[in-house]
Structures are given as C-alpha cells and as structure tokens.
Amino acid sequence: MTDSANRFARAREKQAAALLEDYVELIGDLIAEFGEARVADIAERMGVAQPTATKSIARLKREGLATSRPYRGVFLTDAGAAMADRVRARHRTVVEFLIRIGVPEHVAELDAEGIEHHVSEVTLRRLAGFLRS
C-alpha cells in the first residue's frame, strides 16, 4: 500500500462520514430552534427531496445516531447529540478561522461546509490556537 493510497483511502472515509455529520448537526439545530426536527424541514435545509432525507435518516438510525417513529419527528441519541456538538464546534472554528485570514464571511461559510469534514483533531487544535493568537 503506497502512502498516497492511504491518503486517498482516509479521505474517502472522511467523506462517507460527512453526510451523517451534516444531518446530525442540522437535526440538533432544528430541535434547538423549534423543539423538533421534521423530515420536511430537514429536507429543505439540506437542499434535497423529502424521500432523500427519509433515506438518510434511516441510515442515521441504523448507525445509532438518531431515532424516529413513523409520521413523527426525528430525535438524536446521546451519541448523535455528542456528534452534533462536536461538529458544530468544529464548523464554527473553521468559519472563524477563514474569516480571520481575510476570507469574506459569505465565502467562508460556503467553503467551510466542505472543508470542516476533513479537518483532523490535530489540525483543529492548530486552527483554534491561531484564533487565540
């Protein structure tokens, strides 16, 4: 296995986790904002059709991150809520960092959405350290 093969394999794994992270964070946001997370709202905010959201939520449930009952809202498990907190904090750090180095806020938000999922713990600490300096 070459070094580059390992890099690519790791990037593929991160990518597979990215969608789950986005859904979990969004569900957490909706619950905080409205007290519940409806499938229709999740779909709208994710920018996908409603059945697509339903299918992804099924995957969240399979992975133990969320629960739901038919025709009722979606809820996060403890694991899901912990992931949501972690993801939200990382997202904020990345956005603030980009803004700090001079990226317009609007662009920072766009870029962060893709970048954040590939920022390791080590790099995240460096970004946070930079923000404090």
- When the beta carbons of 57 and 119 are compared against a second copy, the nearer one is 119
Tell me which of 29, 31, 68, 77 binds DNA, using CB under 7 A.
68
- When the beta carbons of 44 and 64 are compared against a second copy, the nearer one is 44
Query: Is 62:28 a contact under the CB 8 Å cutoff?
Result: no
Tell me which of 37, 47, 57, 89 binds a second copy, using CB under 8 A.
47
- When the beta carbons of 15 and 125 are compared against DNA, the nearer one is 15
- In degrees and rounded to multiples of 5, residue 112 shows phi and psi of -60, -35
The yes or no reply on residue 132 touching a second copy (CB under 8 A) is no
Burial (Cβ within 10 Å: 0-12, 13-18, ≥19) of residue 69: exposed
Q: Which does 38 bind (CB under 5 to 8 A by kind): DNA, a second copy, none?
A: DNA
Sign of the dihedral defined by the CA atoms of residues 79, 118, 58, 42, in that order: positive
- Give the DSSP per-residue string, 1-52: --HHHHHHHHHHHHHHHHHHHHHHHHHHHHHHHHSSB-HHHHHHHHTS-HHH
Note the residues at the interface with DNA (CB under 7 A): 12, 16, 19-20, 38-41, 46-52, 54-57, 59, 68, 70-73
List residues near a second copy by CB under 8 A. 1-11, 14-15, 22, 26, 44-48, 98, 101-104, 107-111, 113-115, 117-120, 122-123, 126-127, 129-130
